Amino acid sequence: MPLTTRSAVVSAKDAPFEIRDLELRDPRPHEVIVEVAAVGVCHTDIIMQEQFFPVPLPAVFGHEGAGIVRQIGGDVTKVAVGDHVVLGFASCGNCRNCLRGLPSYCLHYYEWNFKGSLLDGTTALTDDGADVAAHFFGQSSFSRYSLCSERNVVKVDPTVDLTILGPLGCGVQTGAGAVLNSLGVEAGSTIAVFGAGGVGLSAVMAAVVAGATTIVAVDVAPSRLDLALKLGATHVIDASKAEVAAELQRIVPEGFMYTVETTGRPDVLVTAVDTLMVTGVCGTIGASPMGTTAAINMNNLIFGRTIRGICEGDSVPEIFIPQLIELYKQGRFPFDKMISHYAFDDINTACEDAKALRAIKPVLVF
């Protein structure tokens, strides 16, 4: 019996989300249906609404869901009905990179996350019988019920409030994983984080966990910089007022061992590379419009500097998300401080607040 699922639908480029009741089909043998308790709004959802790259419309986006398993297919063994889960990105499980434990670099990442359908071309969501593009990041969780492969659900501690956990599935694991997994920031390191949104602040908190001793957050919003200080940044720079490269050089004259670029802006990437120490590593995370290029000084790279692209923080979600939750429970990773809750039906307000930098990490609650 198909479920009726209240969903936020994008029907045309730049159109607002419309709340509609859609139908969700039953799970196949390796699929589960999750009743979404809350779902984060990530930059990627907003740029998809703007058709950052073409995805079939109408579509349901949403990729930071958390909820409770309500139905499982006949062959599912990973989770049971009633389990609390965080929904992660999708990956094939069989390609060279999935087999190497690098699912966020799955060689079929696009088809599994952005095609708007499953590989067989079908979609689980319909509107009065007409197909609606779904399976966004394997979840399309701007919907009361989300159909996922058992591969991209992560069972989590049921004692932790589900209305904060969704962002662990993308923005938080992206920023924290960049620092802890991809860059391997060591105790005593120097690190500068460009952009103090949900990803950048997660990187700041992870740098604290790693024991970095100089942690600089750069942003243009004073409210975000204030929060960065509360979360453990040792310095902040307001890029709307200061000359960032000069200010960074003042703080660490020899250059930073690590920089993290989360804004997707080419000029910021250039600064993030220019302010590296010899042998320093710049992690670049921010998505930019298709075809964007940056004017990197090639001679700077010769001296052992590295630019490292990072997707989803190199996370293996089943391992990394429970680790982040444990750190949260110990008070060492207070990512809930970035979250503002909104009613699900107020999704357009939440997106506007995120774009206007009034909210760092909106989470929609059912």
Closest approach of Zn ion to the CB of residue 6, in Å: 22
Count the alpha carbons within 13 Å of 92 in the hemisphere toward its beta carbon.
15
Closest approach of Zn ion to the CB of residue 224, in Å: 18
- Which residue carries 């920031």 as its tokens? 185
Q: Does 102 bind Zn ion (CB under 5 A)?
A: no
CB nearer Zn ion, residue 98 or residue 210: 98
CB nearer Zn ion, residue 95 or residue 357: 95
Q: Does 42 bind Zn ion (CB under 5 A)?
A: yes
Q: Are 322 and 176 in contact (CB under 8 A)?
A: no
Closest approach of Zn ion to the CB of residue 57, in Å: 19
Residue 33: strand pairing partners: 71, 147
* Stretch near Zn ion under the rule CB under 5 A, chosen from 167-175, 232-240, 309-317, 323-331: 167-175
How far is C-alpha 157 from the chain's CA centre?
20
* Stretch near Zn ion under the rule CB under 5 A, chosen from 97-105, 183-191, 207-215, 236-244: 97-105
Q: Does 95 bind Zn ion (CB under 5 A)?
A: yes
Q: Site for Zn ion (CB under 5 A): which residue of 134, 156, 168, 170?
A: 170
CB nearer Zn ion, residue 42 or residue 153: 42
CB nearer Zn ion, residue 255 or residue 283: 283
Whole-angstrom distance, CA of residue 343 vs CA of residue 346: 5
Q: Does 310 bind Zn ion (CB under 5 A)?
A: no
Q: What does residue 302 show for φ and ψ, rounded to 5 degrees?
A: -55, -30
Q: What DSSP string describes 287-301?
A: ---TT------HHHH
* Stretch near Zn ion under the rule CB under 5 A, chosen from 33-41, 168-176, 294-302, 310-318: 168-176
Binding mask 196-215 vs Zn ion (x if CB under 5 A, - otherwise)?
--------------------
Count the alpha carbons within 13 Å of 118 in the hemisphere toward its beta carbon.
11
Residues 44-63 that bind Zn ion (CB under 5 A): 44
Q: Does 32 bind Zn ion (CB under 5 A)?
A: no
* Stretch near Zn ion under the rule CB under 5 A, chosen from 73-81, 103-111, 155-163, 345-353: 103-111
CB nearer Zn ion, residue 52 or residue 366: 52
Q: Does 92 bind Zn ion (CB under 5 A)?
A: yes
Q: Site for Zn ion (CB under 5 A): which residue of 9, 87, 106, 360?
A: 106
**Where does residue 298 rank: exposed (0-12), middle (13-18), buried (19+ CB within 10 A)?**
exposed
How far is C-alpha 112 from the chain's CA centre?
16
CB nearer Zn ion, residue 205 or residue 276: 205
CB nearer Zn ion, residue 241 or residue 355: 355
Closest approach of Zn ion to the CB of residue 91, in Å: 5
Closest approach of Zn ion to the CB of residue 311, in Å: 10
Helices assigned H by DSSP within the chain: 43-49, 96-99, 109-114, 162-165, 171-177, 198-210, 222-230, 244-251, 266-274, 298-302, 317-329, 347-355
Closest approach of Zn ion to the CB of residue 202, in Å: 11
Distances (CA, A) of 20 to 10, 17, 60, 144: 10, 9, 10, 11
**Structure tokens that stand for 122 in this block:** 């079908």
Whole-angstrom distance, CA of residue 191 vs CA of residue 245: 13
- Would you tell me how many other CB atoms lie within 10 Å of the CB of residue 342? 19
Closest approach of Zn ion to the CB of residue 358, in Å: 19
Size of the site for Zn ion (CB under 5 A): 8
Closest approach of Zn ion to the CB of residue 234, in Å: 27
Whole-angstrom distance, CA of residue 261 vs CA of residue 273: 9
Distances (CA, A) of 80 to 25, 71, 84, 317: 19, 8, 9, 18
Residues 224-253 that bind Zn ion (CB under 5 A): none
3-class DSSP state of 5: strand
Sites of contact with Zn ion (CB under 5 A): 42, 44, 91-92, 95, 98, 106, 170
